[in-house]
Amino acid sequence: MPVVIVENDTSQWEDQTGAVYHFPKRYSTWLVEGTEVIYYKGRIKDKGYASLRLSADPHYFGKARIGEIHADRNSTKGDLFALIENFTPFEEAVPSKIDGLYLETVPATRVKNYWRDGVRPISQADYDAILSHAKLMPPQTGQQKPKSEDDPLTFESANEGSKSSYFGTRYERRKDLRMQAIAIHGLDCKACGFDFEQAYGEHAKGFIHVHHEVPISNFGGEKAVNPATDLVTLCANCHAMVHRKKDITLSVEELKGMLRVRWVFES
Ligand SMILES: [Zn+2]
Ligand SMILES: [Zn+2]
């Protein structure tokens, strides 16, 4: 059954359009691998987001497919992450209502609270109706540019007089891959176990570096990045250490072999 997924301009959920959808356990019946989804946004609340939306009114703005589902390791309530595949943005907003009629069939028993649901299973007919009004753009595969200022991955290594960033590949800076890597691997360091939020509290929530492990055989070659196998989450120290020598990048296993301290946090 196709599903409408809501993505608000701001929310407690760590969504990344076209890459990751973060949701509570109660929606896991609907959001399973292979489900076709349509993205929806409710009416604008903060005008500051106007330029990031296709419309200020409630509307649909893209379609995609649900990929792998991963548990949110930081959630005590069983929240989940879905990886998003094949995100295809709409060229223009498809309004929720056309000629006075909603494109989604609202069950008679749900008139009052239907639109509150963040995940809404819909009929194939409704799915087709929404898409019949949509002009599709080419599917998006990670064209999202890294944010320069506030992206923790773009700060530079000031040590040893090196001005260049030691966070080597562009994959480490790509927001969509970064969010997928965190959804899969969690927010703790895969070499030493360090967890920023556990160490520094709320201020550090969500902070971790994402490292791209380049297999020797693929070095210099272009291939699609698999966030499950090619990316790993590392703390800032371990990340700096794997990139410390210019000519060689340590594998996470090699680094673990050198480690003398492992952080163990109580959770
Ligand atoms: Zn570490
Ligand atoms: Zn790296």
Q: What domains appear along the chain, each with residue ranges and CATH number?
A: 3-132 (3.10.590), 152-258 (no CATH)
Could you tell me if 186 and 255 are in contact, meaning their C-beta atoms sit under 8 angstroms apart? no
Q: How far is CA 258 from CA 236, 254, 262, in A?
A: 16, 7, 11
Per-residue pLDDT tens over the stretch 145-155? 444 434 444 43
Ligand nearest to the CA of 190: 1
pLDDT at residue 49 in the model:
94
The ligand minimizing its distance to the Cα of 256 is 1
Phi then psi for residue 29, to 5 deg, are -65, -35
**What amino acid occupies position 40?**
Y
| 92 close to 29: Cβ distance less than 8 angstroms | no
Quote the ligand 2 centre to 18 CA distance (angstroms): 23
Distance from the CA of 74 to the center of ligand 1, in angstroms?
Answer: 17
Helix or strand or coil: residue 48?
helix
pLDDT band at 213 (very low <50, low <70, confident <90, very high): confident
Predicted pLDDT at 150: 41
Q: What is the pLDDT of residues 4-31, one digit of tens each?
A: 999 999 887 878 899 999 999 999 999 9
Closest CA to 172 of 255, 239, 254: 239
Residue keyed to tokens 């509570």: 24
**Residues 53-73: pLDDT tens digits?**
999 999 999 999 999 999 998
Q: By the 8 A CB rule, do 197 and 207 touch?
A: yes
